[in-house]
Amino acid sequence: MKFRHPLSRAISILLVLLLGAYAAQSQLQARNEIGIPDIPGYHVLKCDFHMHTVFSDGKVWPTIRAAEAWREGLDGVAITDHLEYLPYKDDIPANFNRSYEIARPSAESLGLFFFRGAEITRPMPPGHLNAIFLEDVDKLATEKWEDAIQAASAQKAFIFWNHPGWRGQQPDGIARWYDEHTMLLEKGWLHGIEVVNGDEYYPEAHRWCLEKNLTMMGNSDIHDPMAMRYDFSRGEHRPLTLVLAKERTEAAIREALFDRRTVVYWKNSLIGSPRFLTPIFQQSISIKNAEIELAPGGRVHLQIHNASQVDYELELTEKVEGFDVPQSLTLYAGKTVPFAVRSQSREVSGEQRLSVPYTVNNLKVAPDEGLSASLTFHLRFVKSD
């Protein structure tokens, strides 16, 4: 048996604390707001509900997670350390509520919404599931996974299935639905699925959310320091669950999750219902000269500004009779791009409302389906000189 002097262990823990405090302070340099607009009736809150610390298999002290989230522009987070996998238990005592208790004061001081959570870490099926809005994590530490889920449900937790296609449990990377998940769904113990986990997008999970009325989730599942995983200088970012909340409160976030009002923000894509993607797109886009004069047979350039953080990738759905318009168009984040319209006929006059139908390919309403959207202008035909 390897002997470890008590003083050595105390020094190790003290170093973790000091490094954690230093790293937390260094994180608080400036907050980078995430440029995805609110929509009528809802605040679009940026959240990550799946993160780890040294209290399970993460590499950072809990306060670091709060500092990282604040700096990256998040509104709400949950630390969800594993219940069953504790590789540092010889140095960090097993206390399932402790990471939350340590991080919450820091999160609250930064104005973040912070939720008590845990990851129920079992073989497939059912795999790994997160529970958030918990009151006492200790009650989930049970031998049978069914009892752990029931204990979470008894605390009125929001429960979602993590990384269903994780290669550690599905070697081919394909998510599969098992009888155990049907049981969870029928008992009301499954409320959402991670459509995105870290770098992985699971189209099967996306379909299940649509078919079974489950909440779409996108989370980082971060273990390392965030800056070691994402290169912020190149515009990289963690995946997020965008929560469409009626108010900026913890209760409103909870209500929105149970009501399935979420959009997943992953890389340069938004994944969700047209009910939410359409107003996000509309609130992002402004046409600087939507009322234009055009000579018959002539060409004019409009200017379209995208105030969001997403480069919208548009593809023309069908030709517009009587006009030439761009077949494809990228509306770059934070920039204004030209949009050329040419009249094909020299025999037109008067005024016309022109609606150009596009598919926004990186706003995903289904695994292989982009959002239908239109760019609309008001034309007045004038005689050419």
- The answer to whether residue 352 scores a pLDDT higher than 70 is yes
Q: Is residue 272 part of a domain?
A: no
pLDDT at 116: 98
The answer to the question of residue 180 being in a domain is yes
Tokens 């079992």 sit on residue: 122
Residues 295 and 226 in one domain: no
Instruction: Give the structural domain span for 309.
Output: 282-381
Give pLDDT, residue 385.
Answer: 59
Label residue 3 by pLDDT band (50, 70, 90): very low
In this structure, are 144 and 221 located in the same domain? Answer: yes
List Cβ neighbours of 305 (8 Å cut-off, separation of 6 or more). Answer: 285, 286, 287, 288, 335, 336
Residue 62 lies in a domain: yes
Q: How far is CA 140 from the centre of its chain?
A: 26
Domain ends where: 233, 267, 301? Answer: 267
Residue 352 CA to residue 110 CA, distance in Å, equals: 51
- 70 in any annotated domain: yes
Counted domains in the chain: 2
DSSP H helices in the chain: 6-27, 62-71, 98-109, 145-154, 179-186, 203-212, 226-229, 250-258, 274-284
291 shares a domain with 242:
no
What's the mean pLDDT when you consider all of the chain? 92
Model confidence, pTM? 0.91
The answer to whether residue 190 is domain-embedded is: yes
What's the confidence (pLDDT) of residue 11?
55
Question: Residue 2 has what pLDDT?
Answer: 42
Same domain (yes/no): 100, 64: yes
Q: What value does the mean pLDDT take over residues 118-147?
A: 98
Q: Are 156 and 296 found together in one domain?
A: no
Pair (212, 292) in one structural domain? no
Q: What is the CATH number of the domain that holds 99?
A: 3.20.20.140
Do 222 and 317 lie in one domain? The reply is no
- Is the C-alpha dihedral spanning 80, 82, 83, 88 positive or negative? negative
Same domain? 147 vs 50: yes
Residue 127 pLDDT level (bands cut at 50, 70, 90): very high
Same domain membership, residue 210 and residue 303: no
From 302, 323, 317, 312, select the one nearest 357 (Cα to Cα). Answer: 317
Query: Quick check: is 277 in a domain?
Result: no
Asked if pLDDT for residue 1 goes beyond 90, the answer is no
| Domain end (from 206, 240, 267) | 267
Residues 361-370, mean pLDDT to the nearest whole number? 98
Question: Which of 267, 296, 325 is where one domain is finished?
Answer: 267
Check which CATH number belongs to the domain holding 371 and give it.
2.60.40.10
Q: Give per-residue pLDDT as tens, 105-119.
A: 999 999 999 999 999
Mean pLDDT across 113-130: 98
pLDDT tens figures, 181-225: 999 999 999 999 999 999 999 999 999 999 999 999 999 999 999
Q: Read off the pLDDT of residues 266-318 as tens digits, 9 standing for 90 and up.
A: 999 999 999 999 999 999 999 988 788 888 888 889 999 999 999 999 999 99
Indicate the pLDDT class of residue 129, thresholds 50, 70 and 90: very high
Domain co-membership, 229 together with 365: no
- Judged against a pLDDT cut of 70, whether residue 16 lies above it is answered with no
In-domain check, residue 1: no
Q: Is residue 123 part of a domain?
A: yes
68 and 36 assigned to the same domain: yes
Mean pLDDT confidence for 229-253? 97
Same domain, 192 and 288: no
